[in-house]
Amino acid sequence: MTEITDIFFDLDHTLWDFDKNSGLTFKKIFKEQDIEIDIDKFLEVYEPINLEYWRLYRDEKIGKVELRYKRLKTTFDKLNFKISDELINQISEDYITYLPMFNHLLDGAKDLLDYLKDKYNLHIITNGFEEVQKIKLEKSQINDYFKVVVTSESVGVKKPNPKVFEFALKEANVSANMSIMIGDSLEADVLGALAVGISPIHLFKDIRSVDERVISVQALSEIKQYL
């Protein structure tokens, strides 16, 4: 890939350890609010529900406020845990406040960025909320690696909408055929990148890309062999 000059990364679940940081955030909130619930059982139910509501949000079927409330309401209902709407809304607000304060990265993230920083221009394209993504980058001390940081909110649409990638390419002043997109989401990152001519690298946990145009890896450390 000698013709590649620029690499775009997704943030959550790709570099930033969303699951670990999210779990620590809920643990802090539940302690503050005296909510007696098994955190492991809560997360086991919450995490797939959260992903499903994010898909709805990404597909423009629900808004930000609905996402933040319903992912919690649905989880508590499924656990048969009685809780007021007022407290759910408070948890929702506290979650957004506390989440970016935790700074755990996925294994190999910092090492990969150090390996790539002098060889390529590095950027971020994320569907995460504008008000928290940049704090995450700063608190985890990786902000300085990236020349361009594009959030879906700043563009007005979400990955995999081509407008997000086209906006990022314009901001980075690079063509699609000289770029790579690294992300965990098959739909948002991989298919979205392919649609505009960017070569993707898929960091997968459960669903592996089968498209011959896609490099699939299970760990960030594996990416070094391709770049």
Topology, domain 6-17+105-225: Rossmann fold (3.40.50)
CB 187 within 8 A of CB 160: yes
End-to-end CA distance of the chain, in Å?
Answer: 7
Question: What is the per-residue pLDDT for 1?
Answer: 64
Domain 6-17+105-225 and domain 18-101 have a common topology:
no
Task: Count Cβ atoms below 10 Å from residue 89 Cβ, excluding itself.
Answer: 15
Can you give the pLDDT at residue 209? Answer: 72
Alpha-carbon gap, residue 162 to 170, rounded angstroms = 12
* Count, residues in the chain: 227
pLDDT on residue 16: 98
| Residue 128, pLDDT score | 84
Tokens 């809780």 belong to which residue?
A: 83
Domain boundaries, the chain: 6-17+105-225, 18-101
CATH number belonging to the domain at 18-101, selected among 1.10.287.1080, 3.40.50.720, 3.90.120.10, 1.10.150.240: 1.10.150.240
Q: What stretches in the chain show pLDDT beneath 50? A: none
pLDDT of residue 213: 82
pLDDT digits (tens, 9 = 90+) for 126-185: 998 888 999 999 999 999 999 999 999 899 999 999 999 999 999 999 999 999 999 999
Q: Rounded to whole angstroms, how far apart are CA atoms 138 and 143?
A: 5
In angstroms, rounded to a whole number, what is the distance separating the alpha carbons of residues 80 and 214? 42
